[in-house]
A and B are shown apart, each in its own frame.
Chain A
Amino acid sequence: MADVWTIAEVSGGVLKEISLELLGRARTLADTLGVRLASVALTSHLNEDQVERLAASGADVIYLGQDSTLEPFTVSAHASALMALVAEHSPQIILAGATTYGRTLLPYLAVKLSCGLTADCTDLAIEEGSGNLLQIRPAIGGNIMATIKSPNHRPQMATIRPRSTPLPSLDYSRTCTVCHVPITAAVHNPTHVLGLRPFVGQQRSIEDAEIVVAGGKGLKKRDNFALVEDLASLLGAEVGASRDAVDRGWATYPHQVGLSGKTISPELYIAIGISGAIQHLAGIKTAKRIVAINNDRDANIMAIADYAIIGDLFAIVPLLAKRLQERRKTQ
């Protein structure tokens, strides 16, 4: 029976967490189907301990393509390597992260392979009887959940929302086969990456953050937005913002949460002075816990919040910061 594959993401020789999340999800699928689980990593180099991490996270096979043309990522280099690999091994399922990488590569690859692709899934299952992959995803701003399948095409392909599943526990006693994949550079690659300008003053992107502290128009002016930034740094969190806050220049666009910004799934989302317009809520429907700090009891955000403090943010947020610091000191 054909294998289940996941596509790992590598940056600077190190795996991104999504690579392991995918293996955690796919392990259950492979076990249900009684087939092997393989992870494909295409990169300029992958550190040895990272290969072991893939194995410990559930991979039975690792297809490792190491070549300087594979990093930084370009669609044509990665798609041509994968097309050759798929033609050779015919997997039944391919999963990648719903990241800028997976959401670029997979729809391109799906067309090249004449296959279906489901976007940004938050859950997967194997259909009893048929063995088809059931792909569950939010759509229309998170207002509906759709179950999608590709009954007549193989491989079945899906991108998976980051942080929609916990990291698998590592088992370093697992055995795993590493297959080195020969890479033939594309004859003509029309894209060439010149460099990266990393985000300043921010450790991680808001998609990867466990805690996001977000501010909205309720902050009233740019200077006050520091309340949000300070609380975030106190919590080791990232800063999010409503569109109104971004449009006023209080935060930059990469921090915007919502329909025309980012969709995120942090463990904790703290919305400060954000009303919770449906376009904003679209970005946080899969957050584990939502806290609202707002002086309007009837604000929209209350419909989706798990915990709310109704009151003046200009009093609450400084007190919160103060109490946090006090508690840290006594610990």
Chain B
Amino acid sequence: MHIIVPIKQVPQSSAVKMDPVTGTMIRSGSAATLNPLDLYALETALCLSERSAGSVTALTMGPPSAAQILKEALSMGASRAILLTDRLFGGSDTYATSYALSKAIEHIGSFDLIITGERATDGDTAQVGPGIAAWLDVALVTYVSAINTIVDRTMEVERLTEEGYQAVRLTLPALISVVKEIAIPRLPTLRGKKRAMNTPIEEWDARTIGADIGKIGLKGSPTRVVKIESPKVARTAEVHIASDEDSMKGAVDRLIDIIEEVYHG
């Protein structure tokens, strides 16, 4: 079983700088890391491939520095790592990002399964996975919380919805996005780190994957970020110190008034 895991580099701190003119993120400067939710996708893929003597390819689109998250994927156990990098990809929205990734996946060739994280913690759209499935015309199941069985080309999974856990049967090839509940990510081992050092990262650009220039980067993106604001999140709290019985009673009764207000509109 060959599994492709698209992973994203995200800023480590939540203090991210934005370019006020283009409305795109300025990545250099703030420390970057692997999108924490992609660890669950990697772990799921590694478990599945170990069961079926398969292989895992990690793929990212990003600046050259994104090679660092591919190293992390390799040290966890991925066997191949591809960095899609080109100035032409800059400013891509989820339409352009999913297009570029789907072209890269076509260029990789055959695969059985694509596993993405639920969402990236910066852009936070959860749109890239479903977008890739649409470009490639493969089965799509989102919010997968467990993989129950895989028999031949048929897989049974559970997905987390607002109503509960839904059981879904799907035919491979497919793309699934996974939630945190699905697995506990392993830590890189020393052996893994050594192997990562010895495994070259393949670098591809727009030309390598035969991308249509009109569909990538800022130019190929239908959406435009036109304004960025920092909302004032600080609210001024009404603070009650509950140090003795009286003050506690007062604080609790005031809270009950607030609760009543919610009930009555």
Contacts and interface: CB of A to CB of B under 8 A. Distances in A.
B241 A268 contact: no
A144 B240 contact: no
A150 B164 contact: no
A210 B264 CA distance: 12
Nearest to B40: A260
Contacts of A191: 139-141, 168-171, 174
B121 A259 contact: yes
Interface residues of B, number: 85
B168 A193 contact: yes
Interface stretch (A34-42, A61-69, A299-307): A299-307
Contacts of B51: none
Contact of B180 (A146, A260, A309): A260
A44 to B, nearest CB: 15
B262 interface: yes
Given A111-B98, A315-B248, A148 B223 contact: yes
B238 A306 contact: yes
Interface string A122-166: 000000000000100011111111111111110000000000000
Contact of B135 (A111, A145, A291): A111
Interface string B112-138: 000000000111111111110111001
Contacts of A195: 166-167
A309 B23 contact: no
A267 B138 CA distance: 39
B151 interface: no
Contacts of A105: 130
A205 B243 CA distance: 35
B256 interface: yes
Main secondary structure of the interface of A (DSSP, over half): mixed
A190 B139 contact: yes
Contacts of B122: 139-140
Given A107-B134, A319-B252, A323-B256, A307 B127 contact: no
Chain A, interface size category, equals 35 or more
B161 A100 contact: yes
Interface in A69-127: 72, 75-76, 79, 99-100, 103-112, 114-120
A76 B175 CA distance: 13
A99 B255 contact: no
Interface string B146-175: 000000000010111111111111110010
Contact of B226 (A115, A139, A148): A148
A268 B223 CA distance: 34
B196 interface: no
A308 B134 contact: no
A196 B170 contact: no
A115 B238 CA distance: 46
Contacts of A315: 242, 248
B231 A297 contact: no
Contacts of B238: 306-308
A17 to B, nearest CB: 11
Given A199-B163, A205-B163, 17 more contacts: A100-B162, A111-B95, A144-B228, A148-B224, A150-B222, A190-B139, A190-B174, A197-B165, A205-B162, A282-B14, A290-B235, A307-B254, A308-B237, A315-B248, A316-B242, A316-B252, A319-B248
